[in-house]
């Protein structure tokens, strides 16, 4: 596989942003060393081989930043933060449903499914709602895409748009 120097640099920057937000333990210095080495290369085949080894290391992570399919249209910093916040929401909702009798108090009632939540399914569903909400807030301009910006979201953007219709 051949990878251009420019494409490698773009991927490397995205991966470094992801590593700032996610603790990957002992893999961090190994991946960083590969990124640094890849930046010194000029042959696209060699660069591709280095990127392949980085991708293989990242795929061993439970929360790999290297994903198949279409890349997010969000800036990398925002996408990485949303993923981290989604994981925080997952942990919080799993704690909630495993507390006391919450697993029998919280239920779903809707068109597709009714009944009690499976604990993991509840956590994943609620974390997904958080993710979708954050993406929507970013796209609408309510939230600036930073952790600090969560405390100063401007929901008046919605009200202003709604009153003009």
Model pLDDT for residues 54-104, shown as the tens digit of each residue:
999 998 887 788 777 676 788 889 998 999 999 999 999 999 998 888 888
d(CA 108, CA 115): 6
Backbone angles phi, psi at 146, to 5 degrees: -115, 160
Backbone angles phi, psi at 108, to 5 degrees: -110, 135
Least confident of 44-48, 115-119, 134-138, 147-151: 115-119
**What pLDDT is recorded for position 165?**
44
CA nearest neighbour of 54 among 24, 34, 33: 34
**What pLDDT is recorded for position 160?**
57
Residue 143's pLDDT band (cuts 50, 70, 90)? very high
């Amino acid at each position: 596989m051949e990878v251009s120097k420019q494409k490698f640099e773009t991927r490397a920057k995205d991966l470094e942003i992801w590593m700032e937000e996610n603790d990957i333990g002992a893999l961090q210095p190994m991946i960083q060393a590969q990124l640094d080495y890849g930046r010194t290369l000029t042959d696209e085949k060699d660069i591709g081989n280095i990127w392949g080894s980085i991708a293989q290391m990242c795929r061993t992570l439970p929360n790999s930043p290297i994903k198949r399919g279409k890349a997010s249209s969000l800036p990398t910093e925002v996408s990485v933060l949303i993923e981290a916040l989604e994981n925080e929401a997952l942990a919080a909702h799993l704690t909630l449903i495993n507390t006391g009798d919450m697993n029998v108090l919280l239920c779903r009632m809707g068109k597709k499914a009714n009944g009690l939540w499976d604990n993991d399914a509840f956590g994943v569903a609620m974390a997904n709602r958080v993710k979708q909400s954050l993406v929507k807030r970013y796209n609408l301009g309510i939230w600036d895409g930073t952790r600090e910006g969560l405390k100063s979201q401007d929901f008046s953007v919605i009200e202003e748009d709604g009153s003009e219709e």
